[in-house]
């Protein structure tokens, strides 16, 4: 693998420097666009509050007062709004052009890297998101057929006799946090404050790519088959309060029970739900729980697994995305090593499960 890593780096090192410059340019226009949008929203908020603020002797009121409509000048508040809208158009245009060029170059370079690192697999970009498998995995309690999901690249490989599918996905799930925000967006004034905080401030202070701000999940999603048929399903989730609250509040998995296990290292990191206590304990043997903990430590990111019918699903959260470059300078061979490690670890899962689950694999 080290030879492929060196080869991939030598072939793409120059392109990585160009991608870094294009991303810096994109981020500059992104912050400029949202800065103008923020001024527009802030001005709209202050103008809407104008009648109420006039009763208070606030220091900044003298600055705002000339822009309030009066009988003599009914259009006073229109002029600054129109001015900001005029500025917003070229800022949006420049950002869109820069973003398009940046993502296109990133896509081309990533394809070259993956094919050099793993010539034995099929790598495609632009394929439809696997919404059917995402729903069957039962990782995301609010996902429906019409939930916006995106695919940023897909690998299909064969390990011994087992095919494994690996996709970099983005999901805009309408979870509890989004539902609360959606409710607030129906309240005048508060909706503008939410826009300022969540979108304007979020895009202004972050160095992440603009398309990653709106996903409730971004990262690796993979699935494979085995021959042992399971009657129910067993889902292994990251042990955090938001995950548990979302699952309980959705009411989509009422047939599930919380599975109580004894491994202290495992239950510290994961919470397990399933339809059959006995089957869940059969699937999650001591050896497999050790394997899952080791996988989490190797990925060093939130990890999800589910077992049902003859299918295994695995997801590894990565806010930056598997087939997108991280923020910061793209210098050194470390970029290649991290990408190779993530893909190689995922491709090794069938072999690890053969040893730990005792399930015969099939193609």
What residues contact 208, with CB distance under 8 A and at least 6 apart? 319, 320, 327
Summarize the confidence of residues 112-124 as an average pLDDT.
Answer: 92
The SS3 of residue 217 is: strand
pLDDT at residue 127 above 90?
A: no
Enter the tokens of residue 83.
């001015």
The more confident residue out of 358 and 335 is: 335
What residues contact 186, with CB distance under 8 A and at least 6 apart? none
What is the pTM for the complete model shown? 0.84
Summarize the confidence of residues 128-155 as an average pLDDT.
Answer: 92
Q: Please give the pLDDT value at position 14.
A: 87
Dihedral (C-alpha) 224, 229, 230, 235: value to the nearest 10 degrees? Answer: 0
Give the confidence band of 159 by pLDDT, cuts at 50, 70, 90: confident
Give the confidence band of 50 by pLDDT, cuts at 50, 70, 90: low
Structural domain boundaries in the chain = 1-117, 120-175+216-363
On whether the CB atoms of residues 73 and 64 are closer than 8 A, the answer is: no
For 256-286, what is each residue's pLDDT tens digit? 889 988 889 999 999 999 999 999 998 888 8
For 54-102, what is each residue's pLDDT tens digit? 544 445 555 555 555 566 655 556 666 777 788 889 999 999 999 999 9
For 179-197, what is each residue's pLDDT tens digit? 888 888 888 878 888 888 8
The more confident residue out of 314 and 183 is: 314
Q: What is the DSSP code (8-state) at residue 111?
A: H
Q: Please give the pLDDT value at position 86.
A: 84
């Amino acid at each position: 693998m080290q030879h492929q890593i060196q080869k991939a780096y030598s072939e793409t090192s120059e392109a990585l420097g160009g991608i870094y410059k294009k991303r810096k340019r994109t981020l500059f226009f992104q912050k400029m666009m949202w800065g103008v949008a923020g001024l527009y929203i802030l001005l709209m908020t202050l103008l809407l509050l104008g009648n109420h603020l006039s009763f208070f002797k606030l220091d900044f009121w003298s600055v705002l007062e000339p822009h309030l409509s009066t009988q003599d000048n009914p259009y006073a508040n229109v002029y600054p709004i129109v001015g900001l809208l005029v500025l917003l158009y070229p800022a949006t245009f420049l950002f869109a052009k820069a973003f398009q060029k940046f993502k296109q170059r990133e896509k081309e370079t990533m394809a070259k890297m993956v094919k050099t690192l793993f010539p034995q697999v099929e790598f495609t970009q632009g394929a439809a998101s696997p919404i059917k498998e995402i729903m069957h995995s039962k990782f995301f309690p609010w996902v429906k057929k019409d939930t916006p999901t995106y695919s940023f690249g897909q690998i299909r490989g064969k390990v011994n006799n087992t095919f494994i599918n690996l996709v970099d996905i983005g999901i805009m799930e309408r979870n509890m946090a989004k539902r609360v925000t959606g409710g607030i967006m129906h309240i005048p004034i508060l909706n503008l404050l939410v826009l300022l905080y969540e979108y304007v401030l979020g895009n202004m202070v972050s160095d992440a790519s603009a398309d990653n701000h709106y996903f409730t999940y971004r990262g690796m999603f993979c699935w494979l088959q085995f021959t042992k048929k399971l009657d129910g399903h067993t889902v292994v989730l990251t042990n955090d309060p938001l995950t548990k609250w979302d699952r309980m509040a959705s009411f989509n998995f009422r047939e599930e029970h919380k599975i109580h296990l004894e491994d202290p290292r495992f239950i510290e990191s994961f919470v397990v739900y399933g339809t059959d206590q006995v089957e869940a304990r059969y699937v999650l043997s001591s050896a497999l729980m050790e394997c899952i903990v080791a996988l989490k430590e190797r990925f060093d990111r939130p990890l999800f697994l589910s077992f049902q019918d003859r299918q295994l699903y695995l997801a590894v959260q990565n806010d930056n995305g598997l087939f997108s470059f991280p923020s910061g300078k793209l210098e050194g061979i470390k970029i290649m090593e991290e990408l190779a490690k993530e893909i190689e670890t995922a491709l090794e899962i069938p072999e690890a499960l053969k040893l730990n689950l005792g399930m015969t694999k099939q193609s």
